Amino acid sequence: MNVIEVDKLSKYYGKLKAVDDISFETKKGEIFGILGPNGAGKTTTLEVLEGLKKQSAGNVRVLGLDVKTQIKAIKQRIGVQLQSTAFFDFLTCEETLNLFGSFYKESKPSRELLDEVTLSPKAKTYVNNLSGGQKQRLSIALALVNKPELIFLDEPTTGLDPQARRKLWDLIVSIRETGKTIVLTTHYMEEAEFLCDRVAIMDEAKIKDVDTPRGLIRKLEGENKVEFGSDKKLDLKNLEEATASLTADYVEGDIYSLRTKDSHKTMNLLLDYAKNNKIELNNLHVSRATLEDVFLSYTGKSLREK
Amino acid sequence: MSFLKANLKMTLRNKQVLFWSLFFPIFMMGMFGAMFSGSSQKFDVGIVNKSSSKISKNIVKALKKVDALTITQKSEKEEFKELQDGNRVAVIIIPKKLADPKLPKGIVPGNKSMLNKSQFNAQNSQKMQLQAKVPPMKPVTIKFSYNETKSQDASIVSTIVSQFIGKLNQKIAKAPELLKIKRAAYKSKNLKYIDFLLPGLLAMSLMMGGIVGIANGITTLRERGVLKRLLATPLNPAVFFIVQVITRLTVALVQSTIMISLGVLAFGAHFYGNVFTFATVLIFGATVFLIFGLVMASVAKSVETVEPMSRAITMPMLFLGGVFFPIDSMPAWLQPVSRALPLTYMSDALRQVITEGASLYAVRIDLLVLFVWGIIGFIIAARVFRWE
């Protein structure tokens, strides 16, 4: 059974297309990820599903209800975390949860929620005194306050240090285990790979593909990447042509990455290229494709470049 | 209901709100109260009574009853020393010559007391005969020496004493009129500056609290995305606004109670108004200013712009809205501007209710103007308000 059905959804701001004719479904009990760089239209898509924005065209059904006409009923049954973790000043964690609980017909006791997100010791702490990771966990607790069947998380781990991110991932997995459906957006590959049952790849207002992380990678079967460091700055266009690779990309520091179907050929061409241009290569290796490469193959650009 | 409770809690915990809505107006009242109390409250006057007559004793007794004067009675030398040291506004000397008039029935006595003003300076004292009308009987001169550096105060005292002596002359001439003097003194008590200031300050703080408080509060919530988060819940948006308004009105009521108590107890202001009439005017006016705050919050793009915007609205109103001085005392070309401002009508309505005990019907024009302003504000806010 589909919890969310999006059919030819578009959202325009004047002439700007924030979301352009996208369609997808979310199944009950899964973690569905929308992966894409900033400005791809992920947040706008979520906000239409949450009833915060009205669509320009298309049909959207959430929990079997139409977002245009039945948004009040939908709001009772969904949990929402927005990109900016916004709380009222001068309220403690417990008071914040009590307050938001009072907006719903049915709500979970604050103590239980704090327990769930391991914030019990902070019950009496003012929200402004929480750390970044604690604020994110509180805002997830806030999204759980009405015992929702469906939860939207908009970039839940952005700006967190690796340890806090790891902790949040565990929390999200534990929420899925209670049978809830989760839709999240992210621009972190490893997050989508670790958390999501299915991923929609979104770029420039369009959805490029929807599949499981493994399924997406499998589509790149036979695709490898050749990575190396160089002592000179290289022109990506030249490099791409000289090595007969699909794309040449600059990773970070002075590391370059070439996507190729034929790693043997690319490797040989690269060595020739290096010899002819008097380039000293180091740390040369071939590796399997990741979700990052999937993204690259669909959009022609790296997520990290943004 | 729990939203209201939480919102009140938040407001009470916000020290900035408390400062601007409670301590600032009290501070203003203290400052202005102290600044103007010198000219409207008590004057130190020394009396040297050289006469042993009954009438001189009565003069002293009666002068002591004048509220505006603090009378001391030391020897002539001591009193002049005090005058020289600046501790007296004036020293009045009643000469030995003043004797009880013998009143032959039917005949108007002519034992008139004349006021003889003389300047007194620290360096040189010079006496100046002011008046020398020839009365039917030989006049007795009461010497009035005053401190030149406090000439303004002294002229007020001189007026009081002159009036008083005039009354006294009448009294000698006709029937006792001591009652009249008492009444006159009571009337001057009524006209204290603080009685003008208190309703004005009250209107001011309601305006500041309403406009600045709501505008800042809501703009901050919007900028941080709290409004958007609320919109993602089933909460009815109207409830959000109602809660904001009730919270602010509660603050306004507490604030007014404190200010009025302080004004009456510490600064001697008077409250003649009916409590319910007063509360109605207060809530009515405060709501109008809250709507203004909402307009600011709707128009402003960020917290950085909302502050100067609300200041640009409140500051001119503060000085043109009849808070610190009456509108009639302003230049003629400015008066129409003042008469367009809502604060003018708010301070006028509060002033009438507080100092004159006016009824709602008596201030209906004020309320009507405020109502029109409120409607205008409401329409603007409803049209341009944004949640994010």
Q: In chain B, pLDDT over 90 holds for what percent of residues? A: 16
In a domain, A298, yes or no: no
- Please say which residue of A217, A244, A276 terminates a domain: A217
Task: Enumerate chain A positions whose Cβ falls within 8 A of a Cβ in B.
Answer: 50-52, 72, 75-76, 80, 82-84, 86-91, 95, 98-100, 102-105, 142
Q: What is the pLDDT of residue A301?
A: 65
* Regions of chain A short of the pLDDT cut 70: 221-222, 301-306
In a domain, A181, yes or no: yes
Which structural domain range is residue B123 located in? 42-190
CB contact under 8 A, B226 and A88: yes
Average pLDDT of span B6-12: 85
Rounded Cα–Cα distance for residues A262 and A157 (Å): 36
- Answer yes or no: do B286 and B256 share one domain: yes
Average pLDDT of span B109-113: 44
- Answer yes or no: do B134 and B276 share one domain: no
Q: ipTM of this model? A: 0.81
- Answer yes or no: do B246 and B310 share one domain: yes
According to DSSP, the residues that pair with B151 across neighbouring strands are: none
Distance from CA of B239 to the nearest CA of A (A): 10
In a domain, A296, yes or no: no
CB contact under 8 A, A90 and B9: yes
- Answer yes or no: do A257 and A116 share one domain: no
- What is the CATH number for A204? 3.40.50.300
- Answer yes or no: do A228 and A191 share one domain: no
CB contact under 8 A, A51 and B232: yes
CB contact under 8 A, B6 and A72: no
**For residue A278, what are its two tokens?**
């008097």
Minimal-distance CA residue of chain B relative to A91: B10
pTM for the full predicted model: 0.70
CB contact under 8 A, A80 and B229: yes
- Answer yes or no: do A201 and A265 share one domain: no
According to DSSP, the residues that pair with A149 across neighbouring strands are: none
Q: 3-class DSSP state for residue B11?
A: helix
Q: In chain B, pLDDT over 70 holds for what percent of residues? A: 78
Q: Map B214-244 to HEC letters.
A: HHHHHHHHHHHCHHHHHHCCCCCHHHHHHHH
- What is the CATH number for A241? 3.30.70.980
- Answer yes or no: do A135 and A167 share one domain: yes
CB contact under 8 A, B3 and A99: yes
Is 80 exceeded by the pLDDT of residue B186? Answer: no
Rounded Cα–Cα distance for residues A98 and A104 (Å): 10
- Answer yes or no: do B177 and B199 share one domain: no
Q: Any idea which of B100-104, B109-113, B296-300 has the lowest mean pLDDT?
A: B109-113
Residues of chain A found within 8 Å of residue B10, distances taken between Cβ atoms = 88-91
- pLDDT band at residue B122, thresholds of 50, 70 and 90? very low
Indicate the residue of B9, B221, B233 with minimum beta-carbon distance to A100.
B233
Indicate the residue of B2, B14, B226 with minimum beta-carbon distance to A98.
B2
In a domain, A306, yes or no: no
Asked if B101 and B51 touch (Cβ cutoff 8 Å), the reply is no
Total domains, chain A: 2
Backbone angles phi, psi at B116, to 5 degrees: -115, 110
Rounded Cα–Cα distance for residues B338 and A118 (Å): 59
- Answer yes or no: do B94 and B151 share one domain: yes
Total domains, chain B: 2
- Answer yes or no: do B296 and B379 share one domain: yes
- Answer yes or no: do A256 and A213 share one domain: no
- Answer yes or no: do B236 and B280 share one domain: yes
Which structural domain range is residue A276 located in? 222-288
Mutate to test the interface with B, among A62, A72, A84 (most CBs of B within 10 A): A84
- Please say which residue of B190, B216, B237 terminates a domain: B190
Is 80 exceeded by the pLDDT of residue B204? Answer: yes
- Answer yes or no: do A28 and A79 share one domain: yes
Average pLDDT of span B139-154: 71
| Mean pLDDT value across chain B | 77
- Answer yes or no: do A142 and A171 share one domain: yes
Q: Map chain A to HEC letters.
A: CEEEEEEEEEEEECCEEEEEEEEEEEECCCEEEEECCCCCCHHHHHHHHCCCCCCCEEEEEECCEECCCCHHHHHHHEEEECCCCCCCCCCEHHHHHHHHHCCCCCCCCHHHHHHHCCCHHHCCCEHHHCCHHHHHHHHHHHHCCCCCCEEEEECCCCCCCHHHHHHHHHHHHHHHCCCCEEEEEECCHHHHHHHCCEEEEEECCEEEEEECHHHHHHCCCCCEEEEEEECCCCCHHHHHHHHCCCEEEEEECCEEEEEECCHHHHHHHHHHHHHHCCCCEEEEEEEECCHHHHHHHHHCCCCCCC
